[in-house]
Amino acid sequence: MSKQFRIKGTGRVDPSRPINFTFDGKSYTGHQGDTLASALLANGVHLVGRSFKYHRPRGILGIGADEPNALVGIRRDAARYTPNLLATQVELYEGLNAVSQNRNPSLEHDRMEVNDKWLSRFIPAGFYYKTFMWPKSAWDKWYEPRIREAAGLGVAPSQPDPDVYTQRYAHCDVLVIGAGPAGLAAAKEAAATGARVILADDRPVMGGSLLAAADTNISGEGEDWYSAGAWRKEVLAFLEKQPNVTLLPRTIAFGYYPHNWIGLCEKLTDHLAVLARGAPRERLWQVRAAQVVIATGAIERPLVFPENDRPGIMLADAARTYLQEYGVAVGQKVAVVTAHDSGYRAAHELKAVGVDIAVIADIRGRSVVSDRAVQAGLNVLTEAKIEGTSGKLRVSSITMTAAGMRSNFACDAVLMAGGFTPSVHLFSQSRGKLVWDNKLQAYLPGDSAEAERSAGASRGRFALAEALADGVDAGREAAQAAGFTPGTPAFHPQVTVKHAIGSGGYLGAAPTSADLSKAKAFVDWQNDVTAKDIVLATREGFLSIEHVKRYTTTGMATDQGKLSNINALGIVSEATGRSIPQIGLTTFRTPYTPITFGTLAGHARGMLFDPARVTAINDWAVAQGAAFEDVGNWKRAHYFPKHGEDLHAAVNRECLGVRKSVGIFDASTLGKIEIVGPDAAEFMNRFFVNAWTKLGVGKCRYGVLLREDGFVTDDGVVGRVAKDRFHVTTTTGGAARVLGMMEDYLQTEWGDLKVWLTSTTEQWSVIAVQGPKAREVIAPLIEDLDVSAEAFPHMSIGDGKICGVPLRLMRVSFTGELGFEVNVPSGYGRMVWEAIWERGKAFDMVPYGTETMHVLRAEKGYIIVGQETDGTVTPDDAGLGWAIGKAKPDFVGKRSLQRPALTAPDRKQLVGLISSDGRTVLEEGAQIVDPAAPKVPIGHVTSSYYSAVLGKPIALALVRGGRQRLGESLYVPMPDSVIGVQVAPTVFFDPEGARVNV
């Protein structure tokens, strides 16, 4: 069967290299160079899909990235299944396995076809909004799953993507997008100036419309003339030789981002029968171009008439291109419906290879072009109305009215020539202004926002000679703008053609006697939107095209309305009596065509998705079987379960171990900043709330940091290690933010201060040793520092040696126990940790994680910034008013603390809560109410744990006027119960603080 559709001696496919492939399990043969679409058409197959909503049979409509119907899935192996590929872009390879989508069980017999026959009148425009509003709960359970099942695209692959994707950055002087006649000419001219040129084209072979140009000759600079094919070869051969030119076929420019940053996706392996192991499938190019030439051509427009969606009905120039590029006739008896001279060109060229042209129906009047067709023996109707078509799985006839006569023409294909829409997507993405051209009836690029220019059909220069000249000029101008000098005067080639592309075109619904409010005249094939839907939307008051689009879903499918948007505009214009510029234009968004997540993710998958920060002690904790939690990018030991303990059992044991004897904790993730300089103390005074001048060398102080608005933003212990040197610690998550804030004030406000800031977070490993036996554990390991209770009291800092390596020891406690934080250069962290661990064994030392750290500090009422504070908490709210240096004239945030709202008496204050039943652990975040006015929450729980040492749950909370409520009974309402609580002081354990001072 295939033989009769393949035209010998035409096209660039290689008949000597047959390729076997399957579609829906059936075997076919194509040629090397075919796409799946051209190979199917060569086998007489038009039916390739079912439509989105109505499940109508659909055929191949176009030939490129604009195809709305021919979506297929390609399966290579169990893991490699790619849905929603366009058959018009899938290159044929031996063994290709393609399947159709959105049908059940088969394309020929689809059960959901009832949608078309019985339900379509219940599925008008906006039906999603009208039908599924009630009851609300039914949406998730009932409506959505069923709609998804019925209205679907391909099925997502079920296994992780086994392929590798790669990415690269590139710079160039001139990026030319599109390698049709204008793009080739531009690239050639720019390259000749010495500029670095990248030429990208989405197809495997460069040349664009030149590949399908029949009986076309182009003049060279001498007396010589070239056929279109020879000219293309000549230019490409020149470009390939230039060291300053990079040619990227199979590469789609999908996004135009600010400052001439262009995203390209290069497909590397999808066309290969056998994949090389480990070879990347796609490459993302992120190109920064000094100048861009957009030569993306134009998209052919379909005509909107009743039943214009049967398989076999397709775009006229696409059909002509299938013939000239692939040697494929799309039918044996073809009807042409046209509003543009290019429809005649298609008819002439198909007739020349023996295809029977049933009729040319021109909706326009008589013209030179129509007369020439009549002279050539073609049957031409002018001022035709298109009434409808017939045929179940393939069009079999078309009905027209002309000169008052209604006639039916048998055919196996219908070609639509509605004119051409310049492809302005990338220009519009670059934020260039589009301008409506009344003569061409098209939006064209107007003022540029970026360093770019459009050339050729993408700005309405459709005729080959015009496109070539435009490309020449654009290439030269771009190179010049990038700082290069074009040589000899510009040469614009002359062109001779047998059948010119001509002019014409139509927007909106084509003339018909049929009632468009009943007929199915499709505007958007992919989303099943008809002229009727769009008219209905305007009748219901949707006037802006942005609203019409969302209400009808026209242009919202994966093809982004490449074929449909302009016709939709035409219909709205006619229905509302407003001009197209008045209606506006929907926004062109990236990506131009769908891009795989793989391309965008590149190597950033799995372990490489996000960097993991680990401390020097991490591997030890892993070996101990610790459970980990993420804190920012840090991996922190959460708890150390023993013998199948759960979190609670492990934490209770760890807490008691610390309180009874001693524990060891990796605090290395704490932020650390060294503040050095003659003005270090003054800087500290201005930055933190505390007073620092009188802090002696060798002493520590708990520092509180506010934002300028008066709210707590960070805290940490600060040690003065020399008169001009402070060792500042910050929260783990706040380290970068605090350093950035310090730099901000130092660089932009306090230029008078001589201070240098250095992040030392990763220079120090910090080993917290906490518990009554802490000193006994570490003292014998330490040299050159007296750590006795008398010489080194609570809140001391000093340098010495431990295990023979440099030590900065801080006597600080976040547990309420005698405690030390052993700082050693992180390269020694693991060694010193293990030495302390060995000594600790005699004291039953426990390693503990962040959860136990949280419980121990909560028992002492120590806050965690970000848990007890939420950006609206002042030092006084958090019970930290004592930390403020009252005598200081100023510090960051001081003025704000005097604002009326921040001094109001009923602010939320930090208090403790005890569950009245002595058992219930409250939920963090739970709201708190006063029984006197139970409808208004007066606060919330900030921290809540079971305290093993106290044998009961404890909680911290922010409660309105909380410190005045000590002893009061309040309630915590939960979905299934109400929990009674008592307000208590924030310090639950050792309120006198005796245990730290031993």
Partner 1 sequence: MLIINCPYCGARPELEFAYGGQAHIDRPVQPADLNDEDWTGYLYLRENTKGIHAERWRHLHGCARFFNALRDTRTDHFLATYKVGEKAPEVTRP
Binding residues (CB under 8 A) for partner 1: these are 257-259, 261, 286, 288, 431, 449, 708-709, 740, 743-744, 747-749, 751, 889-890, 894-896, 898-900
Residue nearer to partner 1 on the CB measure, 736 or 842: 736
Residue 218 to residue 225: CA distance in whole angstroms: 6
| Whether residue 160 has a cis bond before it, omega within 30° of 0 | no
Nearest to 417 by CA among 465, 470, 369: 369
Q: Which long-range contacts (CB under 8 A, 24 or more apart) does 600-609 make?
A: 600/284, 601/165, 602/165, 602/166, 602/167, 602/284, 603/164, 603/165, 603/166, 603/167
In three-state secondary structure terms, 228 is helix
Minimum CB distance to partner 1 smaller for 191 or for 265: 265
Measure the CA–CA gap between 571 and 533, rounded to whole angstroms. 10
> For residues 261 and 946, which CB has a smaller minimum distance to partner 1 in the complex?
261
Buried residues in 136-174 as b, exposed as e (16+ CB within 10 A): eeeeeeeeeeebeebbbbbeebeeebebbbbbeebebbb
Q: In the complex, what is the shortest distance from the CB of residue 731 to partner 1, in angstroms, rounded to a whole number?
A: 19
Q: How far is the CB of 430 from partner 1 (least distance, A)?
A: 10
Say if residues 979 and 922 touch (Cβ distance below 8 Å).
yes
Could you tell me if 697 and 722 are in contact, meaning their C-beta atoms sit under 8 angstroms apart? yes
- Residue partners of 604: CB distance under 8 A and separation at least 6: 610
**What is the SS3 assignment for 182?**
helix
Q: Would you state the structure tokens that stand for residue 358, as one six-digit string?
A: 């049933």
CB of 749 to partner 1, least distance (A): 5
DSSP 845-907: -EE--HHHHHHHHHHTT---TTTT--SS--TTTTT-GGGS-TT-S--TTTGGGGSHHHH-TT-
List strand residue ranges (DSSP E) for 333-484, in order.
333-338, 356-362, 380-381, 385-390, 397-402, 405-410, 413-417, 420-422, 434-437, 442-445, 452-454
Instruction: Please count the other Cβ atoms lying within 10 Å of the Cβ belonging to residue 835.
Output: 18
In the complex, minimum distance from the CB of residue 483 to partner 1, in angstroms, rounded to a whole number: 15
Query: Of the two residues 547 and 888, which places its CB atom closer to partner 1 in the complex?
Result: 888
> Nearer to partner 1 by C-beta: 253 or 778?
253
Question: Which C-beta is closer to partner 1: that of 240 or that of 752?
Answer: 752
Q: Which residue has the tokens 């709330």?
A: 689
- DSSP codes of every residue in 640-687: ---TT--HHHHHHHHHHHHHHT-EEEE-TTSEEEEEESTTHHHHHHHH
Strand extents, DSSP E, 423-542: 434-437, 442-445, 452-454, 495-497, 522-524, 529-530
Q: Which amino acid is at 134?
A: W
Least Å from the CB of residue 787 to partner 1 = 37
The nearer residue to partner 1, 702 or 750, going by C-beta atoms, is: 750
Minimum Å distance from CB 384 to partner 1?
Answer: 47
Task: Kindly state the smallest distance separating residue 688's Cβ from partner 1, in Å.
Answer: 16
Residue with the two structure tokens 């119960």? 977
- Distance separating alpha carbons of residues 980 and 971, to the nearest angstrom: 5
Distance of alpha carbon 160 from alpha carbon 597, whole angstroms: 12
Residue with Cβ nearer partner 1 (538 or 874): 874
The nearer residue to partner 1, 265 or 655, going by C-beta atoms, is 265
Q: Which is nearer to partner 1, 129 or 169 (CB)?
A: 169
Tell me the backbone φ, ψ of residue 578, rounded to 5 degrees: -115, 155
In the complex with partner 1, the residue whose CB is nearer, 4 or 747, is 747
For the chain, give the number of residues: 998
Q: In angstroms, what is the minimal distance from the CB of 335 to partner 1?
A: 49
In the complex with partner 1, which residue's Cβ is closer, 503 or 896? 896
Q: Smallest gap, in angstroms, from Cβ of residue 285 to partner 1? A: 14
What's the closest the beta carbon of residue 740 comes to partner 1, in angstroms?
Answer: 7
Please state the φ and ψ torsions of residue 25, each to the nearest 5 degrees: 85, -10
**Side chain identity at 16, as an amino acid letter?**
S
Least distance in angstroms from the C-beta of 877 to partner 1: 18
* Nearer to partner 1 (CB atom), residue 606 or residue 889: 889
406 φ, ψ (degrees, to nearest 5): -95, 125
* Least Cβ distance, residue 895 to partner 1 (angstroms): 4
CA dist 319 and 415 (Å) reads 7
Of residues 544 and 747, the one with the C-beta less far from partner 1: 747
Compute φ and ψ for 363, nearest 5 degrees.
Answer: -75, -10
Cβ distance to partner 1 smaller for residue 155 or 736: 736
Q: How far is CA 475 from the centre of its chain?
A: 33
Other beta carbons within 10 angstroms of residue 398's beta carbon come to 30
| Residue 900 CB neighbour total at 10 angstroms | 6
Residue (69 or 429) nearer to partner 1, CB? 429
* Nearer to partner 1 (CB atom), residue 674 or residue 709: 709
Helix (H) or strand (E) holding 134: none
Burial of 852 (0-12, 13-18, 19+ CB in 10 A): buried
Cα first-last separation, the chain = 97
Nearer to partner 1, 171 or 392 (CB): 171
Shortest Cβ 588–partner 1 spacing (Å):
17
